[in-house]
Amino acid sequence: MGLERGNLLAGALALTLGLWGPLAHAETKLRVFIGGQQRPDVVRPLLDRYQAAHPGVSVELEVGGATSDLQQQYLTTVLGSGDSAIDVMLIDVVRQAQYAAAGWAEPLDPYLGDDRQKLLADYLPVYAEANQVGGRLIAMPAFADALFLYYRKDLLEKHGLAPPRTWDELKAAAKKIQAAEGSKDLQGISFQGKPIEGAVCTFLVPYWGAGGSLADAEGRFQLDRTAGEKAFDLWLEMISDGIAKKNVAEVATDDTRKEFQAGNVVFAVLWAYGWSHFQNDPDSRVKDKVGVVPLPGFAGGPSATCIGGWEWAVSAFSEHKQEAAALVRFLSGPEGVKHLAIEASNLPVLTAMYQDPEVLATNPWFKDALSVVESARARPKSPRYPEISEVIRVNVNAVLAGVKAAPEAVGDMDARLSRLIR
């Protein structure tokens, strides 16, 4: 009996040691969530580098959701239930206000300490500002973005055309090339009409270009109906003229990228990530045939673009906030930003990076992109942004599909947005 008892004790001791052994010199496991569209193949090596430099920290990468909306849907279920499974997540530039209001993001100010101001000064002002809600730093910038006009350099040169500066020039150029090339499958322009986040910018770009603004001088909501209708009419004319395909209401962001990449599009309204795909993907038929310029404006008006980009946030439910904040600081620092710029053609959020010779070697067009990003405008900032976005995108989709007339859609948007934005 005594012997048995001794064995049992020894066994229990061994078991306890076995369990505690790995924990004693254990690593902190951090879990990072990004979407499928944010190039996990590029982010993983960056995390490996961080692990190598920080023994005791291991970083897992979780990938899910191919669009901003689907990523958010997943994060909503995780964060809404207060789950600690995710430590660090990449969030779209439109979401900080919601995260701050819901208490999902850990404010990063205490983790940066005295460096905060100095650190933020290195970033493009628009991103330093976008990540602060009520004076608290909700996230750190990962990469910048804006909508650009991609064009087929080879086709424009062949037909003796310069990159368009106005929408009218674009329409004329597209028509000329489509007629001359004679291919039924060649689209003049591709943009996003599907009811997804991207459709919000499809409306705002020409709306801003036509002089519209969502806030008056006192910062109260207003919708300029004339500019709204002008914005819709621009796209509708392109559809009726055959420049855009008739089912552009089904086109999501990455559809534009794929169709341009397959050589079926002359002009594309797209974010910066397209460049790396066009230049490097094995199936790209447009390698070295692509140019990037700012989006056109209306004749005599300014060129406007929508600001994009993604931010690193630390979950308020993380059990390793200190370590997570350190990782976020690394990812949003020079090493992380440069890696994403070179490997994924993600626009840098650090101003100095636009002069970096290595970055410019892979992305020559970045040198002209800084001014575009700096002048890009932000979508409304609100904890109820998802509802605002939904009103705009459903109406954009309905108008482009021809289900709703433009004046009616603008009226509906005005009525519903005025209740959401105060």
Partner 1 sequence: MASTTRRSRRDIGEGVLAALLLAPAGALLALIVLFPILRLFWLSLHEVRLSEPWAGQPFVGLLNYRDIWADSRFWRSLAHTLLITGITVPGALCVGLGLAFLANLPFRVRWPVRLALLLPWALPLVFSGLIFAWFFDTSYGVVNDVLARLGLEGPAWLSRPGPAMAAICIAIVWKTSSFCALVLLAGLQTIPDTLHEAAAIDGAGRWQRFRHITLPLLRPAIMVALIFRTITAIQTFDIPFAMTRGGPGDATETLAMYVRTTTLDFLDFGYGSALAVVMFLISMAATAWYLRWIRGTSE
Q: Which residues bind partner 1 (CB under 8 A)?
A: 69, 72-73, 76-77, 80, 98, 101-103, 185, 193-196, 245-250, 383-384, 386-387, 390, 394-395, 397-398, 400-404
The phi and psi torsions of 185 (rounded to 5 degrees) equal -85, -5
Q: Which is nearer to partner 1, 78 or 272 (CB)?
A: 78
State the nearest-atom distance from the C-beta of 101 to partner 1, in Å. Answer: 5
State the nearest-atom distance from the C-beta of 398 to partner 1, in Å. Answer: 3
State the nearest-atom distance from the C-beta of 97 to partner 1, in Å. Answer: 9
Q: Which is nearer to partner 1, 42 or 85 (CB)?
A: 85
Q: Which is nearer to partner 1, 223 or 248 (CB)?
A: 248
Q: Which is nearer to partner 1, 189 or 340 (CB)?
A: 189
Find residue 29's DSSP bridge partners: 58
- Which strands, in side-by-side order, build the sheet including 140-146? 57-63, 28-34, 88-92, 307-314, 140-146
Q: Which is nearer to partner 1, 320 or 404 (CB)?
A: 404
State the nearest-atom distance from the C-beta of 363 to partner 1, in Å. Answer: 31
Pairing of strands 28-34, 88-92: parallel
State the nearest-atom distance from the C-beta of 395 to partner 1, in Å. Answer: 7
Q: Which is nearer to partner 1, 43 or 400 (CB)?
A: 400
State the nearest-atom distance from the C-beta of 252 to partner 1, in Å. Answer: 9
State the nearest-atom distance from the C-beta of 185 to partner 1, in Å. Answer: 7
Q: Which is nearer to partner 1, 328 or 409 (CB)?
A: 409
Residue 253 near residue 192 (C-beta atoms within 8 A)? yes
State the nearest-atom distance from the C-beta of 194 to partner 1, in Å. Answer: 7
Q: Which conformational region is residue 292 in: left (phi greater than 0), alpha (psi within -120 to 50 degrees), or beta?
A: beta
- Which strands, in side-by-side order, build the sheet including 187-190? 187-190, 265-270, 148-152, 290-293
Residue with tokens 């929508």: 306
Which DSSP category does 377 fall into?
A: B
Q: Which is nearer to partner 1, 370 or 401 (CB)?
A: 401
State the nearest-atom distance from the C-beta of 229 to partner 1, in Å. Answer: 17
> Which residues 6+ apart lie within 8 Å of 171 measured at CB?
188, 237, 238, 241, 243
- By the 10 Å C-beta count (0-12 exposed, 13-18 middle, 19+ buried), 264 is classed as middle
Residue with tokens 């996990």: 40
Distances in whole angstroms, Cα of residue 104 to Cα of each of 32, 35, 65: 15, 18, 19
The phi and psi torsions of 261 (rounded to 5 degrees) equal -65, -30
Distances in whole angstroms, Cα of residue 397 to Cα of each of 152, 219, 260, 289, 419: 27, 28, 21, 31, 21
Residue 170 is which amino acid?
L
Q: Which is nearer to partner 1, 38 or 67 (CB)?
A: 67
